[in-house]
Amino acid sequence: MPLSTRHLLGIKYIEREDIEQIFETADNFKEVINRPIKKVPSLRDITIANLFFENSTRTRLSFELAEKRLSADTINFSAGSSSVKKGETLLDTVNNILAMKVDMVVMRHPMPGAPVFLGKHIQAQIVNAGDGTHEHPTQALLDGFSLREKFGELKGLRVAIVGDILHSRVALSNIFLLNKMGAEVRVCGPPTLIPKYIHSLGVGVSYDLRQTLQWCDAANMLRIQLERQDIKYFPSLREYSLLYQLNMPLLEQLGKPLVIMHPGPINRGVEITSEVADSEQAIILEQVENGVAVRMAVLYLLAGMG
Amino acid sequence: MDAQKLDLFPQGKLPITLQRICHQLIETYGDFRDVAILGLQPRGIYLSRRILRVLQELVPGIKLLHGELDITFFRDDFRRRETPKQPNQTKIDFLIEHRRVILVDDVLYTGRSVRAALDAMLAYGRPDSVELLVLVDRRRKRELPIEPSYTGIKVDTVETQRVMVELEEAGGNDLVYLLSRED
């Protein structure tokens, strides 16, 4: 079965069957990356450009590793050290890179919708590696894959997404994915950081962390994205931590197993304490490992459609 | 469109052929020390399981390594097909470094799957030697210089024909037949 799309622009634009196929293929790649020789030759005739117009550590490295494990040729670009600073438009930059015979583009961009725009104007296949506050599809896929690994399936699972929902592309992509896979989602955070029309996405809302954690099987703890906050959304980080931090006393009070996720980067001591982040219940590093397998699956399946 | 079936192992010949192949293996490998049998996904794994079972019946207490190898990511027709092939599981929990490997597949045709298998196998080390065992060898259609070391039956076929192998291990009735379509 081919995917229903040539690009991965967002979870919103793909089908449930696509997600299942990506998960199944990622199972195979997870086995591959645990072999003594972790490389397969599938994408050896493909060149992938990693265009990062916004900072990234995990996602960029994870994509690069996935590409290398698939034997693709890669070129890297980051906005900080490029002609973007000299006033070049997005389309010009990308077209210049594509003139070098690139087959796929992995792009992170601060503007929501940038990959969709690009998809309308270029031939190469596009993978969205995060566009502003809009979507981060591969993060949602790896979160879903990690949950599926932990619980067997996503259907009927209760997942809480806690923190800065307003500025989080991880939250939006996760909501789309979990809804498509039949899981229940509840978002939790200060009222100012919950988007106004969140109900229209079919999720529950709570402003009480303890209640939310009692309800859910897994909690995805998000970072406060101060760099995207142009105004003050809450009085202080200290107050935020008092109300919305996942710490050991709270975890122990719940008296039930809770799977804890975090897309990184972690602000230790703000949304989550070190003790909890490093505890047995946290699957944060499993998420990172699964990220490579999931990205290999996405690149492999898209490349197969040429 | 009618389909004609030609039984390739009529009158219960399949078990005899499998016994013959296993005796040949015993002749070559003796106590099977350092020998690993690798079945190729998707259909070679059933034959490899059967070979293992027959060997265990013939030589009680025999110890040999058995694994299942998926070659999907090593195929040379990726991006030349309409849709990517769905991969299967690889189950090999040992290294093949310094071992003698027997690759097992049900049907040998163009030889391209075996080429991919030779490539895929190297992720688990450098074997001392590799031999190929197939149940049905469709002669004269090879696209690569690959020949089997152990063969159940050799058949001459044309492109429109298909060889179907339905072993008990895969929920079949131990039937191996040549399917010809007449338009």
Domain CATH code at residue A203 = 3.40.50.1370
| A31 to B90: CB separation less than 8 angstroms, yes or no | yes
- For residues A66 and A190, membership in a common domain is answered with no
Distance (Å, whole) CA A185 – CA A188: 10
Look at residue B167 and tell me if it is in a domain: no
DSSP string, B76-100: S-TTTSSSPPPP---B--S--TT-E
Rounded Cα–Cα distance for residues A90 and A95 (Å)? 8
- A27 with A83, same domain: the answer is yes
Query: Which helix or strand (DSSP H or E) is residue A47 part of?
Result: strand A47-52
CATH of the domain at B35: 3.40.50.2020
Q: Is there a single domain that holds both residue A227 and residue A159?
A: yes
Query: Does some domain include residue B54?
Result: yes
Q: Does A222 reside within a domain?
A: yes
Handedness of CA A294, A298, A299, A300 (dihedral sign): positive
End-to-end CA distance of chain A: 14
Is A55 in the same domain as A117? yes
Assess whether A188 and A154 both reside in one domain: yes
**Length of chain B in residues, anyone?**
183
A183 shares a domain with A116 = no
Chain A residues near residue B98 by CB distance under 8 angstroms? none
Task: Identify all chain B residues contacting A24, using CB atoms and an 8 Å cutoff.
Answer: 86
Residue A229 lies in a domain: yes
Band of residue B80 on the pLDDT scale cut at 50, 70, 90: confident
Cβ within 8 Å, pair A301-B84: yes
Give me the pLDDT at residue A81, please: 65
The boundaries of the domain holding residue B73 are 11-157
In contact, A69 and A44? CB cutoff 8 Å:
no
Backbone φ and ψ of A225, nearest 5°: -90, 75
Residue B69 resides in a domain: yes
Distance from the Cα of residue B11 to its chain's centroid: 23
Q: Are A240 and A187 in contact (CB under 8 A)?
A: no
A273 domain residue, yes or no: yes
Size of interface A-B (CB pairs under 8 A): 61
**Sheet-wide strand order for A204-206:** A204-206, A184-188, A158-162, A218-221, A259-261
Supply the range of the domain harboring residue A121.
Answer: 11-134+288-303
Indicate whether B165 belongs to any domain. Answer: no
Region for B92 from its dihedrals, namely left if φ exceeds 0, alpha if ψ lies in -120 to 50, beta otherwise: beta
Residue B148 belongs to some domain of the structure: yes
A4 domain residue, yes or no: no
The alpha carbon of residue B137 is apart from the nearest alpha carbon of chain A, in Å, by 27
Total domains, chain A? 2
Contacts of B73 in chain A (CB under 8 A): 28, 32, 40-42, 70, 300
* DSSP output for A53-121: SS--SHHHHHHHHHHHHTT-EEEEEEGGGSGGGGT--HHHHHHHHHTTT--EEEEEESSTTHHHHHHHH
Please tell me the distance in Å from A2's CA to the nearest CA on chain B. Answer: 5
Chain A contacts to B (CB-CB under 8 A):
1-2, 21, 24-25, 27-28, 31-32, 35-43, 45-46, 70, 300-301, 303-306
**What are the CA-CA distances from residue B132 to residues A15, B34, B42, B147 (Å)?**
42, 16, 16, 8
- Residue B141 included in any domain: yes
Distances A202 to A59, A189, B15, B135 between C-alpha atoms, Å: 28, 17, 60, 55
pLDDT digits (tens, 9 = 90+) for A57-82: 899 999 999 999 999 999 998 877 66
Residues A267, A157 share a domain: yes
Interchain contact, A37 vs B95, CB within 8 Å: no
Structural domain contains residue B67: yes
Domain count, chain B: 1
Do A35 and B123 count as a contact with CB atoms less than 8 A apart?
yes
Q: Going residue by residue through chain A, which has 306 residues, state the pLDDT in tens, using 9 for 90 and above.
A: 789 999 999 999 999 999 999 999 999 999 999 988 899 999 998 999 999 999 888 999 999 999 999 999 999 988 776 666 778 888 888 888 888 889 999 999 999 999 999 999 998 999 999 999 999 999 999 999 999 999 999 999 999 999 999 999 999 999 999 999 999 999 999 999 999 999 999 999 999 999 999 999 999 999 988 888 878 888 999 999 999 999 999 999 999 999 999 999 999 999 999 999 999 999 999 999 999 999 999 999 999 886
pLDDT tens digits for B96-144? 999 999 999 999 999 999 999 999 999 899 999 999 999 999 998 899 9
pLDDT tens track for B1-56 = 567 889 999 988 999 999 999 999 999 999 899 999 999 999 999 999 999 999 99
- Residues A71 and A194 reside in one and the same domain: no
Question: Cα–Cα–Cα angle for A192, A196, A197, nearest 5°?
Answer: 150
Q: What is the DSSP letter of A191?
A: G
Whether A168 and A201 share a structural domain: yes
Nearest CB among A36, A305, A306 relative to B124 is that of A36
Query: Integer distance in angstroms from the first to the last C-alpha of chain B?
Result: 5
Please enumerate in sequence order all residues whose Cβ is within 8 A of that of B62, keeping only pairs 6 or more positions apart, or say none: B31, B32, B55, B56
Q: Which residue of A has its CA nearest to B92?
A: A35
**Closest by Cα among A58, A44, A62 to A298:** A62
pLDDT, mean of residues B77-93: 83
User: Is A5 part of any domain?
Assistant: no
Decide if B176 is inside a domain. Answer: no
